[in-house]
Amino acid sequence: TRPDNLRVFFNNSDERDRASVDLGRQFPDLTIQPLDVPDEDWVARSQASLRAVRVGNIIVAPPWDIPHTGKLTLDVGAESGGTPLTRPVVIVIRPSMGFGTAHHATTRLCLASLQHVDVRGHSALDIGTGSGVLAIAMSRLGAAPVMGIDDDPDALHAAEENLLLNRAADVTLRAGDVRAIALGTFNLVTA
Give the per-residue pLDDT at 133. 97
* Residue 55 burial (10 A CB sphere; 0-12, 13-18, 19+): buried
Q: Tell me the mean pLDDT per 10 residues along the chain, length 191.
A: 71 86 88 78 67 95 91 76 87 82 91 95 96 98 98 94 97 95 94 91
Q: Coil, strand, or helix at residue 1?
A: coil
CA distance 164 to 178: 24
CA neighbor of 129 nearest in space, from 92, 177, 88, 168: 177
Angle between helices 105-114 and 133-140 (to 10 degrees): 10
Residue 62's CB is within 10 A of a number of other CB atoms, namely 19
Give the per-residue pLDDT at 56. 93
Residue 68 amino acid letter? H
CA distance 115 to 58: 8
Report the predicted TM-score, pTM, of the whole model to 2 decimal places. Answer: 0.77
Give the per-residue pLDDT at 125. 98
Give the per-residue pLDDT at 70. 82
Tens digit of pLDDT for each residue in 164-187? 999 999 999 999 999 999 999 999
Tens digit of pLDDT for each residue in 149-158? 999 999 999 9
Give the per-residue pLDDT at 98. 61
